Chains A and B, each alone.
Chain A
Amino acid sequence: MSTKRRYQAEDSVALRVVVLAITMVSVGAVMAQGALDPATAAGSLVAIPAGSWLSYRRRRLANVGLKVVLAGALVAALAAFLSRVRYATSVDDARVALGSLFVWVQVIHAFDVPRRRDLAFSVVASVALMAEAASLSVDPRFGLFLLPFTGLTVAWLYLSDRARAAEEADPATIVVRTAGRSGTAGAVRAGALALTVVTLATGAVFLATPRFPGTRVLAPPFSLANRVAVPGFSGAVVNPALPDGGGPGVTREQGYPGFGNRVDLRVRGELSDRLVMRVRAPQPAFWRGQAYDTFDGTAWTASVHEAVGVTTQGGPAIDIPDLGPPAAAPEQTVVQTFYIARQQPNIVFGAFRPTEVYFPAGRLVVDTYGSIRSPILLEPDTVYSVVSEEPITSASSLRAAGTVWPAAFLRQYTQLPRDLAPRVVRLAHQITDREPTVYDKVIAVQRWLSSHARYTLHPAPDPPGVDSVDWFLFERRTGFCEHFASAMAVLLRAVGIPARLAVGFDPGARSVLTGYYEVRESDAHAWVEVYYPGLSWVEYDPTHRVPPADPGLGARFIAPEVIAAIGRFLARAIPGPMKVVAGAVGSAVASAARWVVRAWPAGLVLVASLVLVAAWIVRRRIRRRRGPRPTGADAAFASLCTTFAARGHARPLTRTPREHADALLAADTLARQERFNIETVVRTFEQARFADRPPEESEIRAAIAAAGRIHQHARVVDEPASIR
């Protein structure tokens, strides 16, 4: 209550224990992320509880000497932090130094927490530590720390607020008369209410929080856990999963065979769901690895093998030259950080087109297709970052693009197998001839594929000697991404549009908690790149019909990922028969939703009708509650009562009409002026209610008129002078 009291020592052991637990959990969370050196970690685990105990014992003392020592220690910690952060080259370096500083602040502060607000400072510092740990965490295990931290913080919020409120109150003796029900049930109910409200609020906030791209302040992180050099590295792709380079007999179970020197459309098999990497990026993209330009009817290969070596130029970044045709499309910068979880070939994956790479090897090789290789294999725990300039395109800008390509370029990217069946070319013309622009032709091909072919991971093998694309287009009509992408590239090339096959990974599923894209082996993917003269290479995914467009506002929210995650969970948890039923219900709902969207005017009418019906029901309920509207003499008396109620003379229920009239005459000047009219109203009302003879119609009319005159007079009197 008073200033003196606010500075009282905190005696609550419960509150101190909760704060200590909060501190220990936060230090543990930072430790789990490997952001503390062993000495700091061990020291903090011992020193913080010891300091808290000492601080509790000495909470009423001035502790001047101790404060001086602690101040010196704090200065030393700050100096250590500054010396470390001065040499930080990446955000990660700074964060680790900051984490150590916060832990030392906690250790030092733990020795001097006499008051409640000192405990609050400990909690705030713990929040900072948890934020530090959260920023370093790349997997859901951080939840093991966040959950108890949240519970303890809730306990601290409750205990400290209760203590404050009790302190601010005046002294009083409290006696509880236990006339009520069991205390436990009520407490559980109150707790459940609070938990439900907070959980719903947190969920709503989480879903509504937009995910904007960030601003690059320092270099993004990169580090190497285990250096495995590529023997005799010459710029070629080395894929440890395919020791023979993906030759005959290879299957997809070994790893994606497209990461090598060819993509063979005859290879079958299913890729595993093993996590290969996590990607931190502001938006989804294809994590591109390689591109191929030559198709021989069964496999794609690269016709150009020249590559350029690039190295760091003083800073941590390696600039990637653009060796492709000129690109003038507007671009947006996308920074991605890759956390490798499983050994990968020496391909530096990244969104197209990479311009800078932060890589733990100082040298890289770039080919003419914009693909990057490293002299080391991507071992688990390797971290690297790629800065890409993604072209921003729209349907209109692509329609407006030119149609003239350099001859050599056109030859390279419109190459077709010599023995390509004429029906493929005919089909290409049949699909695209009516389309006016390159863009429309591309979309037409994509649309045709989606409506005439079906996706499967297990297509039938190609018969020997057939052209894989021809077989796919005219015979089998089923296949996976490589078949779709190859067919699209071949059809476009058949009508003279330059296209190539790109391979890499699709974005993967974005973790709802970490925000990282979790890329699995099964996310290995093939798609098509089409070149628009003067603009850029543009990616098309005929397998998923992904249009080339800006991610849009919807991609800035986590809700779709949450819904997808819930869907994945349900898919795993629900037994088969129920899944069928749920699927049917879901399809019905989706169909209905589609119908509503298509027939929006009808939907609008339906909604308007429902609103009108609801309004009618509510109105009827209100009327029923109020009773029927008064008529005749009742209406006149009701009007009289309403008029004077507005002037502060409401009629108590126990007062008779006559008593009310007398009270009005005694209390209100207006009533005295309207004595005659009031008398008329009350007399008529009394006659209608209580007399043996009801009033005449003329008398009722006179009463209603009198009530109207009173109301009118009251309005004139109540109006401000300026209005009058």
Chain B
Amino acid sequence: VVRVRRRGVGLVGGAVLLFLAGTNIQSGWLFVFSSLLLGAAVGGAIVPAFMVRGLSVERAGPDEAFVGEDVPVELAVTNHRGGARVSIGVRDPHIAPASVFLARVGAGQTAVARTERRATRRGVTEAGTVTLTSSAPFGVAESRRTVPCPGRMVILPRVVLLGRLPFFEEGVASGDDASVGTRRGEGTEYAGVREYRRGDSMRHVHWPATARHGSLVVREMERERPGSLAIVVDTWADAGTGETALDLCCTVAGSVALAALADGHEIRMAGELGADASALVRMGRSEALRWLAALTPSGGSPFPTLLHEVVTGTSGVASLFLVFPTWKPNAAPRMHSAVAPLTARGLRVTAAIVDASRFGSRTPVLLPREMAELESALRSCGADVRWVRGTEDVRALEHRSEERR
């Protein structure tokens, strides 16, 4: 693709003026001068097409980064042809649009441009191409060529480092079989016996078994573990530019997930991916963040419907953390009917509600009155309600809801 620049228009205009002047006063030198200008314009439009040929680009950079992080990305431009390439621009849309200028890439040489790009959006960024541009040598026209340059990077959601979260403390002992894990430790429940190891307390020696075995045998106890935390994210819709409603949901979910994992809790996460609702899946730190990074608005089932489907998979879950924006389908009656069965089963339910009205959404959102109704409906069925209007509200999740009020 060749795009004529203002300088090219100027050269052609100058050539026309000189031609007219030359015609009027019959001056041959003006025709020569006019031809030089027009020749430079024509040549300057043709040469850039050669300059962007025979070049390939390879991109190198990390696989993951957090939103807001400056990511180092290297672009290696190789000239496979015999002639040097001058004034080469490389436009790379990957992660954040970047433009690099290479004054010269010699024959067979590789020039590496190291850039830093701010990861501004959560998500999986797949780059297929970069655009090579050149307006060399005269800048009268710019030639563009798109070359393949595959690349993939997961931009993890912004997370806020949180301390101990109040809603886990209350959910540890509740639930049917959720509070006891399978790991051995310093708990009160008897798990079995084993041979004495150096450092074991003599108080734990199981004397009958020691007598039978002929050597020291100690009792082994089950370790008490916090209960599982299930995080369900509403991916029905999204709105906003820059950091969107779904991005904020992911920030909330990611922050809570990391805090829970740091506290030794097991986490399970669910949300609608594509057309299908995912079941609650046990995840580690990296898996959780990658899962959140990949979330995109599904447009499938609204959140209350998703909750009905997720209810069946809450076995072993002590606390349920729901993150959802105030989309119209998340109105009080439907959310009440979805959450009430969960609290009735003894689950500790916390709802982090993202105020979607501030994102300038075209998707219908709840009115202030409806938001108040939603809060009271959720509270009426025993759920804890936290409002999130921005990243700064995420830190408030550390506090008890009463303190906040």
Contacts and interface: CB of A to CB of B under 8 A. Distances in A.
A13 B25 CA distance: 38
Contact of A214 (B24, B86, B101): B24
Nearest to A29: B29
A153 B40 CA distance: 10
Interface string A131-146: 1001101000010001
A558 interface: yes
Contact of A205 (B35, B44, B99): B35
A723 interface: no
A185 B104 CA distance: 13
Nearest to B25: A135
A558 B28 CA distance: 10
A564 to B, nearest CB: 14
B93 to A, nearest CB: 13
A272 interface: no
Interface stretch (B107-115, B184-192, B348-356): B107-115
8 contacts: A154-B137, A172-B115, A180-B110, A193-B50, A198-B40, A203-B35, A217-B24, A510-B28
B35 A172 contact: no
Contacts of A134: 27, 29-30, 32-33
A304 interface: no
Given A157-B139, A160-B139, A194-B137, A170 B103 contact: no
Interface stretch (B61-69, B77-85, B283-291): B77-85
A206 B138 contact: no
Nearest to B31: A209
Interface string B95-108: 00011111111111
Given A134-B32, A135-B27, A187 B112 contact: no
A158 interface: yes
A165 B84 contact: no
Interface in B31-57: 31-40, 42-44, 46-47, 50-51
Contact of A175 (B87, B112, B137): B112
Interface in B196-245: none
Interface stretch (A235-243, A487-495, A512-520): A512-520
B84 A190 contact: yes
Contact of A202 (B36, B107, B140): B36
Contacts of B113: 172-174
B314 interface: no
Contacts of B98: 170, 172
Interface stretch (B13-21, B163-171, B300-308): B13-21
Interface string A183-216: 1011101100110011111111110010111110
B138 A181 contact: no
B14 A127 contact: yes
B44 A214 contact: no
B363 interface: no
A605 B109 CA distance: 51
Contact of B28 (A127, A174, A514): A514
Nearest to B134: A165
Contacts of A173: 113-114
Nearest to A283: B26
A199 B39 contact: yes
Nearest to B32: A513
A594 interface: no
Contacts of B37: 127
A219 to B, nearest CB: 12
A186 B139 contact: no
A69 interface: no
Contacts of B114: 172-175
Given A162-B103, A169-B100, A513-B29, 7 more contacts: A162-B86, A165-B87, A173-B113, A181-B82, A187-B106, A206-B31, A206-B35
A324 to B, nearest CB: 28
Given A168-B101, A174-B111, A177-B110, A186 B83 contact: yes
B23 interface: yes
Interface of B: 7, 14-15, 18-19, 21-40, 42-44, 46-47, 50-51, 76, 79, 82-87, 89, 98-115, 135-140
Contact of B101 (A169, A178, A189, A200): A169
A209 B106 contact: no
A412 interface: no
B206 to A, nearest CB: 59
Interface centre among B34, B76, B106 (most CB of A within 10 A): B106
B226 to A, nearest CB: 43
Contact of B112 (A158, A177, A335): A177
B379 to A, nearest CB: 47
Interface residues of A, number: 73
A654 to B, nearest CB: 17
B35 A176 contact: no
Given A187-B84, A187-B104, A157 B110 contact: no
Interface of A: 91, 127, 130-131, 134-135, 137, 142, 146, 150, 153-154, 157-158, 160-162, 164-166, 168-183, 185-187, 189-190, 193-194, 197-206, 209, 211-215, 217, 280-282, 335, 337, 510-516, 558
A280 B27 contact: yes
B43 A197 contact: yes
A117 B79 CA distance: 33
Given A169-B89, A176-B110, A154 B79 contact: no
A124 to B, nearest CB: 8
A285 to B, nearest CB: 13
A721 B89 CA distance: 45
Contacts of A157: 7, 40, 44, 137-140
Nearest to A169: B101
B108 A180 contact: yes
Nearest to B100: A172
Nearest to A183: B106
Nearest to A91: B25
Contacts of A161: 7, 87, 135-139
Given A146-B29, A176-B110, A212 B35 contact: no
Contacts of A205: 15, 34-35, 38-39, 42
A154 B109 CA distance: 26
Contacts of A183: 84, 104, 106-107, 109
A483 to B, nearest CB: 34
B242 to A, nearest CB: 20
Interface centre among B27, B34, B136, B137 (most CB of A within 10 A): B137
A137 B27 CA distance: 8
A187 B32 CA distance: 28
B32 A197 contact: no
Given A154-B137, A174-B102, A197-B47, A130 B31 contact: no
B87 A515 contact: no
A164 B138 CA distance: 11
A165 B36 contact: no
Contact of B19 (A127, A204, A209, A337): A209
B47 A516 contact: no
B35 A515 contact: no
B13 to A, nearest CB: 11
A180 B25 CA distance: 53
B31 A515 contact: yes
Contacts of A206: 31-32, 35, 39
Contacts of B28: 510-516, 558
A209 B44 contact: no
Given A154-B138, A158-B138, A177 B109 contact: yes
Given A158-B137, A169-B89, A202 B101 contact: no
A217 B23 CA distance: 12
Contacts of B115: 170-172
Contact of B34 (A190, A209, A337, A514): A209
Contact of B40 (A165, A202, A510): A202
A562 to B, nearest CB: 11
Contacts of B34: 205, 209
A282 B112 CA distance: 58
Contact of A282 (B19, B26, B36): B26
